[in-house]
Structure 1
Amino acid sequence: MPKHLRKISEETLHENPWWKYKHDTYEKPNGQVGDYFYGETPGGAAMIVPVLPDGKLVLTLQHRYLEDKQSIEFPAGGLKFGQLPIDAAKGELIEETGFVATDIVKVGVFSSLNGLFRDECHIFIAHVIVQGEQHLDDTEEIDILYRKPEDLEEMIRNNEIWDGMTMATWSLVRHHLM
């Protein structure tokens, strides 16, 4: 069993409403001291897989600034401080798609960048029926897509879906839907 690093100190280098950039000093088992830089979110994120009565899935198509390209994703968003993951998932579903969940089940949780960020993503499946208006942030332009579950496998293979959180979420929920 490998020995672990022992934290000596921790400091926040930068903080904004979405995350903190941190620096830890640690000691190795051999006594050497090192530095570890990482990000931390207030509560992680929540991603929700909306399922229509006909079995089709609701996805979003939105522009991602850092990659400067369109991304097909399940609705998702960061948790605000103290917010429950299920409440964040329901809120993002309404905000991004206008759909309201009639039945929602937590499927799992994963860490998307465990070497760079202290962060976890909570995954939910929801049955949806009624679609209202989207409530987008002023920086968002989101189109709604409807796809059969079996279409997602090919979309991932063809790199039409390239978002890591969506791919990880699909690996957790696909056996519930296919």
Structure 2
Amino acid sequence: MSGAPSQPPEPNDGDRHLRETLVEAELLEQGKFLQWRRDRVQLPDGREATREYVVHPGAVMVVPILPDGRLVMERQFRYPVGMTMIEFPAGKLDAGEGSLACAKRELLEETGYVGRLWARAGVMHPVIGYATEFIEIWFAQDLTLTERHLDDGEFLDVFAATQDDLEAWMQQGKLTDAKTIVGMMWLRQWRAGAWPLDWQDVPG
């Protein structure tokens, strides 16, 4: 009796028996930066089905590390869940904006910090069942505190916390933001020497 494969195949390698193909696309609603779409697709067995989903421009998240090892964090009220959340700094990509430029901009605007050393960790897809959103994960070190520039109508607190603090809050259910939990996983692996980062010196 054969068991399950020990490793997943590479993306899009031998997955034709799983793919869904577009038959007809329909735009239901265009918001300020989100779209709501309903597509008709053909399933692998030839039948058709409907897929409703949100089109998102993508975003970045920054794991900012202070000289003493603590992490720059935010507390922000998130209306859809009706809760104030503990998060790493993050924000959506503007049209035509590169992910590093976005990471630098969001860190400065939300926290007032400017990073000199930057490293891209990877990408995550937080809501694959109903949105196209992806979040690129960046790390920043050699931070200098300047003046933050919040967007109009944006309210958040900035504070510093240790890795132990954040892990305790995760275990206690006080930190439930998925992107921040992924950032913590990457931080733990990097500090353990398991997942190296390629640091860039990016002044300004």
Q: TM-score, normalised by structure 1?
A: 0.93
Name 2:138's counterpart in structure 1.
124
User: Deviation of residue 81 (structure 1)?
Assistant: 1.5
Once the two structures are TM-superposed, the CA of residue 112 in structure 1 deviates from its matched residue by: 0.5
Determine helix, strand or coil for the equivalent of 1:117.
Answer: coil
After superposition, the CA RMSD in angstroms is: 1.5
SS in 1 for 2:68: coil
Is there any run of 5+ residues in structure 2 with no aligned partner, and where?
A: 1-14, 193-204
**Does the CA-based 8 Å contact 1:38-1:118 persist in structure 2?**
yes
Cα drift, residue 87 of structure 1 = 0.9
Shift of 1:173: 2.5
User: What is the DSSP-based 3-state SS (H/G/I as helix, E as strand, rest coil) of the residue aligned with 1:135?
Assistant: coil
The equivalences for 1:1-178 within 5 A come to 2-42=17-57, 44-177=58-191
Of Structure 1 and Structure 2, the greater strand share is in 1
Equivalent-residue separation in structure 1 for 2:113 and 2:120 (angstroms): 18
CA contact (8 A) 1:149 1:177 kept: no
Amino acid at match of 1:60: E
2:51 is paired with a residue whose SS is: strand
C-alpha separation between the residues in 1 aligned to 2:84 and 2:18? 43
SS of the equivalent of 1:88 reads helix
Aligned to 2:7: none
Change (3 A) 1:25 1:102: same
Q: 1-side partners of 2:185 and 2:131: how far apart?
A: 21
Tell me the distance in 1 between the aligned counterparts of 2:108 and 2:52: 35
Q: SS of 1:153's equivalent?
A: helix
- AA of the residue aligned to 1:141: F
SS state at 1:130 partner: strand
TM-score of the superposed pair, with normalisation by structure 2: 0.81
* 4+ runs deviating over 3 angstroms: none
Matched residue count: 177
State which structure, 1 or 2, has the greater radius of gyration over its C-alpha atoms.
Answer: 2
Gaps of 5+ in 1: none
SS at match of 1:29: coil
Cα distance in 1, alignment partners of residues 84 and 109 from structure 2: 18
What is the CA deviation profile of residues 100-150 of structure 1, one whole-angstrom value per residue up to 9, with x for unaligned ones? Answer: 011110001010001111121000110143211221112211111111122
SS at match of 2:104: helix
